[in-house]
Structure 1
């Protein structure tokens, strides 16, 4: 996703001045004004081409639970409405044991609207890898990536496994410097594709190796997009169609999801899956409760535990699993720029969703405040559970 938005930004200086309340169709969301973010994040389909992951006839009910009030965070008095205003929060949803304990909206967002995921989509894409393993489309995570993406043969990906792609430990050299117009993340979508090849595959197959496969973790947007290509290639289905078949219909999502696509109609595996706040919560519940739909398990036995444990150290507060950011004791997160978060805490039967339009793509202070809010929610649930 980061590659998509940055590549679009390269041409931003040539765009005419635009109205503050109408995001430009071709410009990077990294450079949208605050008003453009708040107008555009719930309406990405108005500015970018998308495909649809259709819902089914049945809706998985989220029943009301006992109302949850968060009155203190970090030992200090806390006002949720003030927090949402200062943090540009569009939605907060807290589910415990599948019941709605707290649900709040801001920025003109509401229960029937959608909000973009940014990189939370990475975690959904990796879950579709699990579905493809169960369905037999992907034989093993230890298979070489080139088995499913022949266009990578003869490249630095020759000895890279599907598992190493999922954990971003391929050892292939990558520069994700957003300030450098010659970085890989900047060039990925601005470099013409070789004839007959997917644009991501065309670019990624030319990269050199810098470490042995499995030896080094580096965040690579291009590799998440490769995962999307791999699922499409292995299943013969678009990501949106496969998402509808394996999760959206069988689990009972309440609205269709919309997924940003490129000029060849390939979904961006790492970004921009738009859904309702409650459907984000249902994604969390799907994973928290074992990854089963109405007809039974969608994922292989043990998949969720393996996908959401630390496979690689990142040097940050989180470890990295299969496109999930991991915490101790089985807690895991899908994270996206501008403050998007899907937090799953199986031991507490807790799912927290936060949709935001932060002024900055990343901000350590805002991340810390979001962490503190989630910690306060967990502490309150723990207090409730005491005899």
Structure 2
């Protein structure tokens, strides 16, 4: 099969591509604009495969999308391209509206135009898989409830509102036009190749550089953590075995407070990179961000029941692998933080 992956140079997208190239015989066409968080170095291990192709395309560029569909004749579209950092969405929501809503609309229309002209068998087997987030559901009170596939949407941030909007568009394109779509909503991902503005890589790198380890508020916000390679396996299983017009929640069964996450990283670093003093002494509490959700927790029982998927990694094993990866890949971290890999690949052009 030919599979288009949008946002394939991003954190989750690159994990999906690595999984497909390494574990299947399918061909992948990676569509990515290469913004600040897109990193082709995350795909070095598969970049020489004759089943991997890259196209630098903005999903807001309909003409470019049409050319990609025409040239590569995809059987599947896995849509991961998105602006995804909540803090950035608070400071500048316009880019989130443009990429996450307008971009998804453009991609849906490009896919619909292509799909509508396919021969019957290919048309029946085509899939448009939209990868979303549990943040569209808002937050949970208490410690007992779980997000299910029928939980009402109640987004709190410009980021989650833009993703909720894109989810609604995808469902509407199935109901109105019959485009065969599937949606997944996942919990917080972590693992190798994560851009250092997110909590876990930020804490690892700040700890090693003896910088403050910032925690919003009291650090009691609870998240369900999912190892990115487990997520990649789940996404491929959904798009190849899942049912059209279904939603699947994907979670790691690992609820932790933000403070517990930071302290766990400090404990691992104390074993792997001992130092005088304690990494936990670097923890700093900062003013909470506006509209900060209290708790996310995914009910992933549908994935287990219908698709026989469960995560392989526990939070402890996944976090150990993650910390070790950042210790072993300091060059990747340096390059992605200063943008040098992009300047080299893009001929010193500015990268937004």
TM-score between both structures, scaled by the size of structure 1: 0.20
More helix by share: 2
Higher RCO (Cα < 8 Å, 6 or more apart): 1
Q: TM-score, normalised by structure 2?
A: 0.22
